[in-house]
């Protein structure tokens, strides 16, 4: 970051904020190429400089700055900002009224090339899609109609993350940031979900404005690559906070499946300790506008071969249900439920918590039910024409006689696919 940009931020804070409200300005130097910049800036009034001993990234750097801060309220600002007149008091007032609020100013635009200052709309709030891509959303006509006072705070499902104010004790109580996230990206989702689901709220305050330079590309290097780092960080968020709805994140970001995201146990335990709401609660109460795309929903129905349907039933000798072919039943009784299968976005064929699995990946291997496991290649199936293909082995679902010549004694197996084999022809009749 050029020193002139830092100076613009610092002087705007010092000149446009009542002096008694600024205890200190902490600059975190994330192991930059020129340590003298930080030391020189520390000569400004109230400015302190912290220099990392190695590259830590934005997320861990913010934690370090917050840890040494002595004031009771923290204000996080990107270095490429310029605060406007009377920007801080409206933010502090909302936190004084309720310390569990996390508040953000309206973020105006500073032109990257000319540094011209352009006011942004005050009718925007933060939103996102299932890939955890942040976007600004216009308030709906209904939401605008309820806002008779244009200065009234706007409840927002998510904050952009670069600029916000939070009570320090509340920040610490909530678990700060996830310090296993790397460099930049996704941390705003994690902290936004955590604030809402664990007893707080997020607001945008129209009476507060801060300008922000929106850069065309990152001025620093991601050791693992920008995309990989973003996937790691958002995957940690999905695994800890999104419950069963994380499946829609994986459907929108298939590259995240199988990617490592580090140990999340401490964050899972944090959520339990804070007794946070479910993500279902978040969707119902905070962001009901986020719809599940129809193409990502489960498909449920029967798996049929001529007049017979794949069925599960309890076994006298096995703990888990066994599979067989039996006459199709269209009623909603117990027998019909045993013939009802769900085909999921991640290619599992399941009944409740049990999934269609293969014993081995060799031809002739038995097909059976086993507990569903995310990412288990033995449980992934695809519909290819009239075949149901096991994806990892590229073999097809087949039936073989085991003794008596009737449908119910047929054993389900996988075999090399044959276009003329009647025993490999299936219909997935989805309701």
pLDDT in tens, 252-268: 887 888 788 999 999 99
Full DSSP string of 259-289? ------HHHHHHHHHHTPPPHHHHHHHT-TT
pLDDT of residue 152: 96
pLDDT of residue 334: 52
Architecture of the domain made up of 73-285 = Alpha-Beta Complex (3.90)
pLDDT of residue 139: 94
CB contact at 8 A, 428 and 303: yes
pLDDT of residue 9: 86
Q: Give 371's strand partners.
A: 354
pLDDT of residue 331: 60
Q: What is the CATH number of domain 298-430?
A: 2.80.10.50
pLDDT of residue 176: 97
pLDDT of residue 28: 93
Q: How far is CA 233 from CA 58, 229, 261, 303, 388, in A?
A: 12, 6, 7, 38, 35
CB contact at 8 A, 312 and 322: yes
Ranges of each domain in the chain:
73-285, 298-430
How many of the other CB atoms lie within 10 Å of CB of 426?
20
Stretches in the chain below the pLDDT threshold 70:
1-3, 215-226, 294-298, 331-335, 402-409, 431
pLDDT of residue 55: 86
pLDDT of residue 31: 87
With b for 16 or more beta-carbon neighbours within 10 A and e for fewer, the 16-33 pattern comes to ebeeeeeeebbbbbbeee
């Amino acid at each position: 970051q050029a020193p002139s940009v830092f100076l613009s931020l610092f002087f705007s804070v010092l000149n446009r904020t009542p002096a008694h409200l600024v205890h200190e300005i902490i600059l975190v130097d994330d192991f930059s190429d020129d340590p003298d910049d930080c030391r020189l800036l520390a000569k400004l009034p109230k400015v302190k400089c912290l220099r990392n001993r190695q590259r830590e990234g934005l997320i861990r750097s913010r934690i370090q700055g917050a840890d040494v801060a002595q004031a009771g309220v923290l204000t996080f600002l990107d270095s490429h900002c310029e605060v406007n007149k009377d920007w801080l008091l409206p933010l502090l007032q909302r936190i004084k009224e309720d310390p569990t609020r996390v508040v953000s100013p309206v973020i105006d635009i500073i032109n990257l090339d000319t540094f011209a200052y352009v006011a942004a709309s005050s009718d925007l709030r933060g939103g996102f899609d299932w890939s955890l891509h942040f976007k600004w959303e216009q308030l709906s006509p209904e939401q605008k109609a309820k806002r008779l006072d244009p200065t009234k705070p706007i409840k927002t499902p998510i904050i952009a993350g670069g600029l916000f104010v939070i009570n320090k004790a509340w920040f610490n109580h909530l678990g700060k940031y996830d310090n296993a996230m790397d460099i930049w990206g996704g941390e705003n989702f994690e902290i936004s979900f955590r604030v809402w689901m664990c007893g707080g709220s997020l607001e945008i305050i129209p009476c507060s404005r801060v300008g922000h330079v929106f850069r065309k590309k990152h001025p620093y290097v991601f050791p693992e690559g920008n995309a990989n780092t973003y996937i790691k960080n958002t995957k940690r968020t999905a695994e800890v906070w999104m419950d069963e709805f994380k499946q829609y994140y994986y459907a929108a970001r298939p590259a995240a499946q199988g990617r490592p995201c580090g140990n999340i146990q401490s964050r899972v335990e944090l959520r339990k300790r804070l007794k946070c709401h479910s993500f279902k609660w978040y969707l119902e109460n905070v962001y009901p506008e986020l719809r599940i795309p129809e193409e990502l929903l489960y498909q449920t129905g029967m798996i049929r071969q001529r007049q017979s349907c794949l069925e599960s039933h309890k076994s006298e000798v096995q703990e888990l249900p066994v599979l067989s072919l039996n006459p199709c039943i269209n009623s909603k009784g117990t027998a019909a439920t045993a013939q009802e299968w769900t085909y999921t976005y991640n290619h599992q064929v399941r009944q409740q918590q049990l999934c269609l699995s293969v014993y081995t990946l060799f031809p002739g291997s038995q097909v059976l039910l086993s507990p569903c496991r995310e990412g288990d290649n033995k449980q992934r199936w695809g519909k290819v024409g009239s075949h149901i293909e096991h994806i990892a082995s590229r073999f097809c679902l087949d039936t073989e006689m085991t003794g008596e010549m009737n449908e119910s004694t047929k054993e389900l197996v996988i075999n090399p696919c044959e276009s003329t084999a009647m025993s490999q022809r299936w219909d997935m009749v989805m309701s």
